[in-house]
Structure 1
Amino acid sequence: MILGIIFLEVMFFAPAKAQSKLFAISKERLFDKIKGGWIAKTIGCTYGGPVEFRHNGTMIQDYTPIKWSKNSVKYYYDTFPGLYDDLYVNIVFVNVVDRLGLYAPVDSFAHSFARMKFPLWHANQVARYNITHNIKPLGCWLNNPHADDIDYQIEADFVGLMCPGMPNSASKISDKVGHLFTYGDGWYGGVYVGALYSLSFSSDDMDWIVKNALATIPTQSDFYACIKDVINWHKMYPNDWKRTWFELQKKWSSEVGCPDGVFEPFDIDAKINSAYVTMGLLYGHKDFYTTIDIAARCGQDADCNAATSAGILGTVLGYSKIPERFRESIYDVMDRPFAYTDVSLNKLCKLSFDHAQKQIVVNGGKIESNRVLINSERPLPVRYEKSFLGHYPVDKLVVNAMLTGEKNVNFVGIGFVQRGYVKCSGNSNYVAKVELYVDGKLLETANLPTASDDCIDNRRVDLFYHYQLPLKEHKIEYRWLNPQNDAQIYLGDIIVYSDHPNTTLYKNR
């Protein structure tokens, strides 16, 4: 079913690529859907907030309450504004588009993001460090152990909302912005989410939206295979989301990249969290509560997954059709800027509406007095890329020591990630300088800023990492060049990679 949209009998043909169809939507309806996307995302993020990463590797059981009240959103605005990293990072990019236009250069997105003083984690924090220290390519897994993490997936909403019915246009923006943080499956998470939002303007058929959004992802990727599995399992078990959850865990729950999740229940990988979003959308049957509750109860990054599924459904429904029991929670904060920004929800909706109209015109559409004509796009796959190609985590070495001058560690493999942090009680601006040697060769002299408790800092998420070494025994050496009495460098565990995975063999009986 097409909701609130009139298709015109006009076909456009772009060179070598795409067949487009012109469709009309009233300005009022377009704004209502954009507003629905942002408002619902905020609601979903709040709903999943209390259970974020509290149920890792397990679903949240039915008897476990996820509480909600009309004061829930205001509570988090007041007490933990960092919950809304999904929103405030989006806002950085919306502001760049507003300031510099649709063709804003990638460096403007990068530096506008990096200079913001808000708490960041995982791939976002790696990006801030890499941008600040001019480490390129920024999001590539060789420079980013978190390249497959969820980060761009939760920040691609602005792309889809400014490209209604134009998923390929959304993908072009994602190519520019998403690669600041992610690569491979991590990037595909944002491309997929951008397409889900974009196509939510074209139809209210959730099966159609999911299927066509997946068409933007290369079929040979693990991300495509994972989401395709969810679609197929939904067909096999249409009334049992928990069966699909178990099938998903069996096949797709082994973390490869993020050092916090390797060999642990914690899993912030983009594809499995996108799978949870997809489960909420398919099993939710366009019921707002059911959609966000399933997405949250799948566990892991529950606030982000509830936020994304809510935002997409909110775009399908429009703000006016979000249930009042959820909508009433927003009234007190509509004109209150998100923490670390000067942009409120009302302002954000207006900005995205303005950007969408400009994008419509650029893409061959037209703005009329009471409606817009959108030159819709048939989804096309983006290029194929893969993080951690040929790398398999095989061991975790326990170091757990303070670096005092020099430290040596041996391992057998082709790559490693050294976890840890820097602290300095007397100077929060202290930057440790540490040399990394592998097999006697200096690979890096790293600048390692101190880590703060509020995560508003320039820390390096993982102290050292290096991949694509020859398979053999290697000797790692750390040499601290500028030690001082009130500074500490803690060396945690080391994730070791080989060129083949571990296997578990059982004796036949």
Structure 2
Amino acid sequence: MNRRFSSPTRWLRLSLDEYVDRMKAGWIGQMVGVGWGGPTEFRYTGAIIPEQEIPAWRPEMVNQFWQDDLYVEMTFLRTLERYGLGVNIRQAGIDFANSRYPLWHANRQGRENLRRGIAPPDSGHPQFNPHADDIDYQIEADFSGLIAPGIPQAAIDLGEVFGRLMNYGDGVYGGQFVGGMYASAFFEKEPVKIVEAGLQCIPSRSQYAEAVRDVLRWYRQYPQDWQRTWQLVEQKYNRNPDYRRFSCTWGDFNIDAKLNGAYIVMGLLYGQGDIERTIMISTRCGQDSDCNPSNAAGVLFTTIGYSRLPERFKSHLDTRASFAHSDYTFEKLIDVCVKLARQAVVRYGGRVERDGNGREVWQIPVKPPRPSRLVQSWVPEPPSGVRYSPREMARIGELPWAHALAKSFEEWAPGWSLHHCGEDMDPGLRPEWNGRKNVFMTHPLNRQTPCVIARTVEIPADRNVLLRLTVGHHPGGDWTLVVRASGEELLRQTVGEKTARNGWLDVTVDLSRYAGQNVLIELLNEPNGWSWEAGYWAKIDLETR
């Protein structure tokens, strides 16, 4: 007679106090990493950042509440808070579609797809999203492990809900890998074991898994020489087209999830538990050099815990500040994560108990993770053809972002209207910008479509009319100001460091030639590249003499 014997379940024990201590540290780690690496982002692509280019840490740098690495996570957490861990992917997509913050690459295309009615998971499918293997879900997947202590399957499952909104294949696996590392970091301190735990959460035959295994192997071969490993990663995952089959083709940078994921792993392995060294290495690897140290530091800080963090990384944290585009303060974020983590413990077979002293303790069963099925962006499966229903579409854009922005602009500049304004860089009214008050910021819709400010004006037959503008630019970029009257181009002027004094340019255009006519005046914020293309408007006046 054959009998099957199952091995007894192994349990992990985690007190609520210890969970909060580590989870809180994980969030701070993200903020420290993105803040420290931020000044170097995409400045070095295919090159190691010189050590002297890394800024010195200052305690006030921790307050990175405005970073996209973080505010997208707040949307996901709010969805989970409202609907629970069993939320369906269609509802997650509706909530993401209704977000109003600036996005880039896979996030932006995924959200545009959702707003057009392409429901998830097709919103992240390569047929509709050319950025499907980009880094996007990877940089915003930290939440999935921070609410799943010792529960890697939860991080995998959350990736199938939220990661599929904008990514596919390796783009999703990067986030599941990161989430799996966080889930492990509540109970494991050894970086190699944490990385191996994350590796168990993704398909073994994926190129992402191959990249992680390569870094582990090269680390063992060259344990004291991270730059040697960087060279090997560079040759295989940046320069070899076989590993860039679905990489983004914008610019000369590489925002592919697996390359940047390799840099996360390098920071953790070669950092060997040291905070500064971990962040420095992940940052100095280059490319997306704020997101990568953010992931690495978040995982590492989770292993350390808030109570054991050096004061310089937490002393200036503003716990009452809200994350951009969210009602969550840091304190509220911690409360929401506790609520969701309790749900995860019970949902995945654990128990919430009290010890002899009445303290809350979680018993968590150890279960091997079941990775998602292997798919690859360069040979994708056919899209599922799912679309949002008319009733669902009615719930998207209940207060359209563009409408709200246009209304705000009309209040700022009565008589003028705003058209084709893009969402990058968070356009809108700035109470103060570069020494000027009440400045309105605009941004081109895309690389081909300028933002347009328009007004129809009756030019008196017997008076001179002058259009007077004061416009500014972002310190990191420039843009082209175009003035048109009834379709005729009257001015084309670069607004940038070489033309603007102290960041501002005064412009006067004489409209007297149109005396006695009704004229459509158009002011264009036109891109002349695709880097910090925002237009800052301090004055738009029509002066009649």
> What range describes the TM-score normalised by the shorter chain of this pair?
0.7 to 0.9
Q: How does 1:420-431 map to 2 (within 5 A)?
A: 428-430=418-420
Alignment of 1:356-505 (within 5 A): 356-369=341-354, 370=359, 371-389=361-379, 428-430=418-420, 450-451=421-422, 454=425, 485=487
Matches within 5 A, 1:12-161: 21-74=10-63, 81=66, 84-136=67-119, 137-161=122-146
> CA separation in 1, counterparts of 2:260 and 2:146?
21
Please point out which of 201, 204, 219 is paired with 2:204.
Answer: 219
Is 1:270 aligned with 2:253?
A: no
CA distance in 2 between partners of 1:130 and 1:48 (Å):
31
Match of 1:317 among 304, 328, 335: 304
- Please give the alpha-carbon distance, in whole angstroms, between the structure 1 residues aligned to 2:124 and 2:448: 17
Which residue among 331, 334, 349 is the counterpart of 1:346? 331
Cα distance in 2, alignment partners of residues 226 and 462 from structure 1: 33
Distance of 2:62 and 2:526 partners within structure 1: 37
297-306 or 127-136, which deviates more: 127-136
Shift of 1:200: 1.0
Shift of 1:44: 1.0
Q: 1:285 to 1:57 in 2, by over 3 A?
A: same
Assess if the C-alpha contact under 8 Å between 1:69 and 1:329 holds in 2: no
Deviations 1:275-313 (A, max 9, x none): 000001111111111111111111111111111001101
SS at match of 2:290: helix
Gapped runs of 5+ residues in structure 2? Answer: 381-405, 410-415, 428-441, 450-485, 488-521, 530-545
Measured in 2, the distance between the counterparts of 1:122 and 1:299 equals 18
User: Counterpart of 1:302?
Assistant: 289
Number of aligned positions between the proteins: 397
- CA–CA distance in structure 1, aligned partners of residues 326 and 92 of structure 2: 15
Contact 2:37 2:283 in 1 (8 A): yes
* 2:103 and 2:424 in contact (8 A); partners too: no
**CA distance in structure 1 between the aligned counterparts of 2:281 and 2:115, rounded to whole angstroms:** 39
* 1:216 shift after superposition: 1.6
Instruction: Return the alpha-carbon distance in structure 2 between the equivalents of residues 463 and 149 of structure 1.
Output: 22
Q: What is the aligned partner in structure 1 of residue 403 from structure 2?
A: none
2:213 equivalent in structure 1: 228
Larger radius of gyration: 2
How far residue 95 of structure 1 moved from its aligned partner, in angstroms, is: 0.9
Q: Which amino acid aligns with 1:313?
A: L
Distance change >3 Å, CA 162–CA 461, structure 1 → 2: farther
- Deviation track 1:163-212 (CA, whole Å, cap 9, x = no partner) reads 11111122111111100010011111111011011111231121111112
8 Å Cα contact 1:129/1:459 also seen in 2 = no
1:178-217 → structure 2 map (5 Å cutoff): 178-217=163-202
> Deviations 1:304-347 (Å, cap 9, x if unpaired)?
111100110111111112222222232xx111101111111121
Read off the aligned partner of 1:454 and give its amino acid letter.
Answer: M
Task: Quote the offset at 1:353 in angstroms.
Answer: 1.5
Shift of 1:265: 3.5
Match of residue 475 from structure 1: none
Using the alignment, how far apart are the partners of 2:328 and 2:32 within structure 1? 17
Residues 31, 353 of structure 1: 8 Å contact kept? yes
Cα distance change, pair 219–461 in 1 and its aligned pair in 2 (3 A): farther
After the TM superposition, list the runs of 4 or more consecutive aligned residues in structure 1 that deviate by more than 3 angstroms.
Answer: 254-261, 424-430, 455-464, 484-493
Equivalent pair of 2:444/2:527 in contact (CA under 8 Å): no
Using a 3 Å threshold, how does the CA distance of structure 1 residues 52 and 19 change in structure 2: closer, same or farther? farther
Structure 1 residues 491 and 142: CA distance shift in structure 2, 3 A: farther
